[in-house]
Amino acid sequence: MKILVCISSVPDTTSKINFTADKSAFDKNGIQWVINPLDEFALTKAIKLQESQGATVTVINVGENTTEPVIRKALAIGANDAIRVNADPKDSFSVATEIANVAKTGGYDLVLCGKESIDYNGCAVPGMVAQLLDQPFVNACVGLDVSGAEATAVREIEGGKETISVKLPAVIAGQKGMVDEKDLIIPNMRGIMSARSKPLQIVEPVASKVKVEGVSYDSVPQRAAVKMVSADNLDELVRLLHEEAKVI
């Protein structure tokens, strides 16, 4: 079984997000970059399938050479090899086009990814890749097993779960639950050392068109100062919620 895991390089979850003075772009100064956490769940799932079924795991990232530390981390976690499409990821469509272009000749049984990246929240690349490859698409996956040419996936639905079977090849986008937080792999020294010599192939982009542009960005406005209410005066809290905020 061959698995392609799509990873995005995103600001660490603890990052404060600032924009450039003219508000035209995200200010990357001082940012620590990590594997998009939702992609990391997918990567960890792929490594589990590598351990249990001998799957080969290739990670793909669309990015300039600045993303290589994040790709090396994915290799240290256990991916067999990596592909970097050498392009600045401008929008979901161009990223999906680059991934699909690599995937269509790679003979992958499964394309795994997180359901969205925590930076631009496009929620678009996985579905686009599936459509470009004309493959089934399962989103919001919280459990996955593979047997032969068929996957059994659990997907989160509003108020519950649905277990489905899907014929491979397919594109599956996951979130927490696909693996648990405690299953995430912290690379050990051997992993880190071996990652240095694992193959990282650099592919030039197919120069796909961009369909969405970020024109400007805003920070989240500060809330007005908090009104503190004494624990001995909960009637006052109820009154404020009822009369002032009008939410109960």
Q: Which of residues 76-115 bind another protein (CB under 8 A)?
A: 92-93, 96
Strands 200-203 and 81-85: parallel
33 in contact with another protein (CB under 8 A): no
Residue from 50, 68, 127, 145 that binds another protein (CB under 8 A)?
127
Least distance CB 7 / another protein (angstroms): 15
Residue from 118, 185, 192, 203 that binds another protein (CB under 8 A)?
118
Indicate the residue among 143 and 205 with the shorter CB distance to another protein: 143
Joined together, the tokens standing for residue 119 give: 């930076």
Residue from 1, 26, 185, 191 that binds another protein (CB under 8 A)?
26
21 in contact with another protein (CB under 8 A): no
37 in contact with another protein (CB under 8 A): yes
CA dihedral sign of residues 166, 168, 171, 177: positive
CA angle 90–92–96, rounded 5-degree value: 110
Report the candidate in 63, 66, 96 with the shortest Cα–Cα distance to residue 212.
96
Least distance CB 46 / another protein (angstroms): 18
CA dihedral sign of residues 143, 146, 152, 155: positive
Give the distance, in angstroms, between the CA of residue 141 and the centroid of all CA atoms in the same chain. Answer: 12
Least distance CB 128 / another protein (angstroms): 5
242 in contact with another protein (CB under 8 A): yes
Report the candidate in 51, 53, 248, 65 with the shortest Cα–Cα distance to residue 168.
53
Indicate the residue among 10 and 195 with the shorter CB distance to another protein: 10
Joined together, the tokens standing for residue 151 give: 């996957």
Indicate the residue among 186 and 220 with the shorter CB distance to another protein: 220
Binders of another protein in range 138-167 (CB under 8 A): 138-140, 142, 152, 155-167
- CA distance linking residue 12 with residue 118, whole number of Å: 9
Least distance CB 216 / another protein (angstroms): 5
